[in-house]
Amino acid sequence: MESAPAYEAMFIHGLLHRVEGDYRNTDAWYGDVSESEVFQEVWGSDGGLEGAKGFVKRAEGLRKEGKGDKEALVKESGREIEALKDYLLNKFGTEQIKDATTVWVGKSEKAKEAAKNMVVGGEGWRQF
Model confidence pLDDT, tens digit, residues 35-58: 999 999 999 989 999 999 999 999
The DSSP string of the chain is --STT-HHHHHHHHHHHHHHT-HHHHHHHHHHHTTSHHHHHHH-SSSHHHHHHHHHHHHHHHHHH--S-HHHHHHHHHHHHHHHHHHHHHHH-S---S-GGGT--PPPHHHHHHHHHHHTSS--S---
pLDDT score, position 47: 93
Contact 64, 24 (CB under 8 A): no
Q: Please compute the mean of the pLDDT values over residues 98-124 and round it to a whole number.
A: 68
Contact 31, 49 (CB under 8 A): yes
pLDDT score, position 100: 76
**pTM for this one?**
0.79
Q: Please compute the mean of the pLDDT values over residues 80-84 and round it to a whole number.
A: 98
What is the Cα–Cα distance from 26 to 4, expressed in whole angstroms?
Answer: 16
